Amino acid sequence: MAIQKDPVILGIESSCDDTSAAFVRGTRLLSSVIASQKVHELWGGVVPELASRAHQQNIVPVVDAAIVQANIRKEDITAISFTRGPGLMGSLLVGTSFAKSMALALGVPLIEVNHMQGHILANFVDSGDGAPVPSFPFLCLTVSGGHTQIVRVDDYFSMQVLGETIDDAAGEAFDKIGKVMSLPYPAGPHIDRLAKQGRADAFSFPRPNVPGLDFSFSGLKTSVMYFLERKCREDADFTEKNLPDICASVQYTIIDILVKKLLKAVRQTGIREVAIAGGVSANSGLREALAEAASKHDLRLHLPQLKFTTDNAAMIAVTGYFKYLKGDFTDESAAASARYSL
């Protein structure tokens, strides 16, 4: 099959609780449609069975809306890329099955994408804002509700995980701590908003002593829970009275852990080009801390647009584009995989 110079790639993302479809022509974004699932807010977290059912309801209208927004015809599609994993198995099955069926019906190549690789390559989506893209090699701090990693990126498809969490992810810590404080799910954006009204030095929480470039947030989560339990025994309204200060202190601690590990990776590798990715990379405090660190240590920092930080299909489509250029296709035997390493 001849490789086209300017292909139109459809990306489909369904790894968790957002159903998303996007089109790119090359790296230029043509459309991006996301259907979020509000039902999980009632339960304080993602319910896998409900997520899978919602994906089944959303996938066809989302892809159709992306086609309309991109102002193309189905016949214009060059290839279809999809998230194979990692993620929730029931959710992945919906996107995988739809992508395989549509590719078969249209007679176009099928491209599987690793969700975490997609997050990293979201930094290469061209949305017309003229933002520079990272140069190889660079370090990427990938932070989300399910993952926290420092990845060395030598090429679009040459990535090495230098460090990762040994227990909870940073986003998971935000959500679980937020749940203890009765904040809505997902708690990260609410903690970020409240932190702006509080003092980061109001309360001190312990940092984990984890060797190398690995992370740990389980101990911090437990420490905050015990702290709140103790304080609420003394004053039942403690959390409500001190909510902004608690949020600011928790957020400062998590960000401090992330930034210090990233700077350690910079020192160890000598790589001075850094990027961030994943849902937690939308956190305003993290962005400000990284910008300050980049200025202080003379680093070249790349911050993706907020709309490309959370789960989205634009990152899957652009990753699909780079794999298309390599002729890296999969076939109809491709199966969703809840665990899928970089």
For residues 193-216, give the mean pLDDT.
96
Residue 115 confidence (pLDDT) above 80: yes
Instruction: Say if residue 172 is exposed, middle or buried (CB neighbours under 10 Å; 0-12, 13-18, 19+).
Output: buried
Contacts of 38 (CB under 8 A, 6+ apart): none
pLDDT band at 38 (very low <50, low <70, confident <90, very high): low
Say what the pTM is. 0.94
Percent over 90 (pLDDT), the chain: 87
Residue 207 confidence (pLDDT) above 90: yes
pLDDT band at 139 (very low <50, low <70, confident <90, very high): very high
Domains and CATH numbers, the chain: 8-129+309-326 (3.30.420.40), 138-304 (3.30.420.40)
Residue that the structure tokens 């319910």 belong to: 47
Residue 216 confidence (pLDDT) above 90: yes
Closest CA to 320 of 39, 102, 185, 121: 121
- pLDDT for the residue numbered 196: 97
Contact by Cβ (8 Å): 266, 274: yes
Span 8-24, pLDDT tens digits: 999 999 998 889 999 99
- pLDDT for the residue numbered 37: 63
Contact by Cβ (8 Å): 286, 258: yes
Span 242-264, pLDDT tens digits: 999 999 999 999 999 999 999 99
For residues 26-44, give the mean pLDDT.
80
Residue 307 confidence (pLDDT) above 70: yes
Region of poorest pLDDT, from 2-11, 48-57, 300-309: 48-57
Region of poorest pLDDT, from 128-132, 175-179, 317-321: 128-132
Cα separation, 150 vs 164, whole angstroms: 6
Contacts of 43 (CB under 8 A, 6+ apart): 50, 185
